[in-house]
Structure 1
Amino acid sequence: MKDLFEKVKNLLFDPVNSWNIIKEEQMDIKKFLFSYVFILAAIRPICQFIGFVILGRAFGFKISFFGGIFSLAISYVISVGGLFLASFIMGQLSTTLNYKKDFQEHFKLICYSLTPYWILSAFYIIPPISLISIIGALYSLYLLYLGAPIIIDVSKEKIIIYILIVIIILIIIYSSNNLLLFGSLIPVRR
């Protein structure tokens, strides 16, 4: 757990140096999933569950307990599965955009870039201020911008195209999560 906190701290406060260190790491995808991705990707669905199921009544809406469990599980699966899908698609586009095709490198880049979004998604615990997570999403784009040339050798000319494609893929993934969540909201009768 100490390694996780150290990696998150370094990525948030010293991103260029962190990307250079990450580039040199030999990644075991299973270890990476269990020591980093599964933990951080769980923040959003867990905080949404607490915010909308447990605390939601105080804010004028709530999700039933079982609806919340269902939303939590599906949201988590979609979030993690979406990382694999985004990495696969970006790898397939590598010949068109002329950058490295390595699936693991794309996976590493996308997952590490999402770190600030995952951290700030803790604000979903208080639904009215959950939009603060957008700040994390914007910083995630900045990390992607810094990391793409280092990790997968994207040229300066193609980096904006790369980022736009990743954004579109992730928006589709996270929007489907939000539709699932907000589709199960029940207004509280007073």
Structure 2
Amino acid sequence: MTAPNPPAIDPGLVARVQNILMRPKLEWPVIEAEYATTRSLFARYAMILAAIGPVAGLIGGQLFPISIFGSVMRTPMVGGLLGAIVTWGLSLLSVFVLGLIIDALAPTFNGTKDKVQSMKVAVYSMTAAWVASIFNLFPVLAWLGGLLGLYGFYLLYLGLPTVMKAPQDKALGYTAVVVISAIVLWMVVSAIAAAVVASFVVGAIGVSAMALS
């Protein structure tokens, strides 16, 4: 008897996404208690979900070219692909750094320092933003993905006292400082990604122009 074909998407991943988004108060205690490593959190979860936005943006850039002063501009495939890879990598790096910040801040808010636990909070609180980034498929709706991604701040607020053992009365302050750190990280990463992507796109356009001349 032949073995059944494995599912295209890990059902455990799907269940975790559904649970953390739809019933976070029940899911955070499960996350807090389960065994994990930084590597497993990224390899089995973050690396997969963080790819949604860049891939959607790459496809959207090909299907829905932008119009500038009446001229249709489609992102060159090679430049767009390289840009998506860079954006994906920088996104993962920012989550890792955010996890380190959460860990470093824990004692300040009477929490418990634990690198793996802090990475759990950083990774799983990003779920909403990663899933919502599917709207990058439609450039005119990308703002909606950003708006829906703000739900991640609420996930963070629920996760910090549960996973990092911070007292409930310290949760709001802990969350506020982490959110400010996340915004700064996002601004830095976005600026770097935009510069790199622009250089790839301009380079690809230049190569194409030379090939056609």
In the superposition, the TM-score normalised over structure 2's length comes to: 0.78
- Quick one: distance in 1 between partners of 2:78 and 2:185? 23
Amino acid in the other structure paired with 1:156:
Q
Q: Deviations over 1:63-82 (max 9, x none)?
A: 32232122212111111111
- Look up the match of 1:50: 59
Amino acid in the other structure paired with 1:84:
F
Query: Could you say what the CA RMSD is over the residues aligned between the two structures, in angstroms?
Result: 2.1
Picking from 10, 18, 29, the partner of 1:9 is 18
1:37 aligns with 2:50: no
- Quick one: distance in 1 between partners of 2:18 and 2:81? 30
Runs of 4+ in 1 over 6 A off after TM superposition: none
- Quick one: distance in 1 between partners of 2:165 and 2:39? 24
> 1:1-190 residue pairs with structure 2 within 5 A?
1-52=10-61, 54-57=62-65, 61-179=73-191, 180-181=193-194, 184=198
Unaligned runs of 5+ in 1: none
Q: Higher Cα Rg: structure 1 or 2?
A: 2
- Quick one: distance in 2 between partners of 1:128 and 1:178? 18
Q: Deviations over 1:6-65 (max 9, x none)?
A: 11111111111111111110113322222111101111111121222x124156554322
Q: Deviations over 1:89-112 (max 9, x none)?
A: 221222222211101111101111
% same residue: 27
Segment drifting more, 74-83 vs 168-177 = 168-177
Go from structure 1 to structure 2 and tell me whether the alpha carbon gap of 1:48 and 1:172 turns closer, same or farther (over 3 Å shift): farther
Instruction: Count residues in correspondence.
Output: 185
Unaligned runs of 5+ in 2: 1-9, 203-213
What is the Cα deviation at residue 129 of structure 1? 0.3
Amino acid in the other structure paired with 2:81:
I
Q: Secondary structure at the match of 1:153?
A: coil
Go from structure 1 to structure 2 and tell me whether the alpha carbon gap of 1:131 and 1:82 turns closer, same or farther (over 3 Å shift): same
Q: Secondary structure at the match of 1:27?
A: coil
